[in-house]
């Protein structure tokens, strides 16, 4: 058995303020839809204590389990280690490095919202994740059935 070469798979970092809703849903979709072909990170400029339970519920409805995730603090290292950095309302908290691909996704914040309000946010995130996968030349896999 030989050593495997260093990973060359693309990597993405999702950043929002609390790392409890949008960025966690995006990371969950990317993990599930990429089938492991993309390295996934998420972080927040001011992480919450736990993931938004309504975001967890909305993702469970489409077969994506994010219950084990914890909000994480945004680090310079996480940005430097990522090929694509997608911000979701974190303002100027995200450090900018030359040569990185940055996208800012304007999405409603699911914090304090009920499931009816979070579903369209979830669905928009899934649509954007599918576009991201296409831009990375990664064929999406089927989501597990809910």
Query: Mind listing the pLDDT tens digit for each residue in 131-140?
Result: 999 999 999 9
> What's the whole-model pTM score?
0.91
Structure tokens at 134: 């296409």
Q: Which whole number is the average pLDDT over 74-81?
A: 91
Assess whether 90 carries a catalytic annotation.
yes
Report how far apart, in Å, the C-alpha atoms of 88 and of each of 6, 13, 15, 17, 113 are. Answer: 30, 11, 6, 8, 17
Catalytic one of 17, 26, 79, 90: 90
The reply to whether 16 belongs to the active site is yes
Is 111 one of the catalytic residues?
A: no
Q: Check residue 141 and give its pLDDT.
A: 93
Which residues neighbour 14 within 8 Å (Cβ) at sequence distance 6 or greater?
22, 23, 24, 26, 27, 30, 40, 41, 42, 43, 86, 88
Marked catalytic residue, from 12, 15, 16, 17: 16
């Amino acid at each position: 058995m030989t050593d495997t070469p260093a990973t060359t798979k693309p990597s993405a970092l999702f950043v929002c303020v609390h790392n409890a809703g949008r960025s966690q849903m995006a990371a969950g979709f990317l993990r599930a839809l990429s089938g492991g072909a993309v390295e996934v990170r998420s972080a927040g400029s001011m992480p919450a204590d736990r993931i938004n339970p309504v975001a967890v519920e909305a993702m469970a409805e489409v077969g994506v389990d994010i219950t084990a995730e914890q909000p994480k603090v945004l680090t310079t290292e996480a940005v430097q280690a990522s090929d694509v950095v997608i911000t979701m309302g974190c303002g100027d908290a995200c450090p900018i490095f030359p040569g990185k691909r940055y996208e800012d996704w304007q999405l409603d914040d699911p914090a304090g919202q009920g499931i009816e309000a979070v579903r369209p946010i979830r669905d928009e995130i899934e649509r954007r994740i599918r576009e991201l996968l296409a831009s990375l030349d990664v064929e999406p896999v089927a989501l597990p059935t809910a």
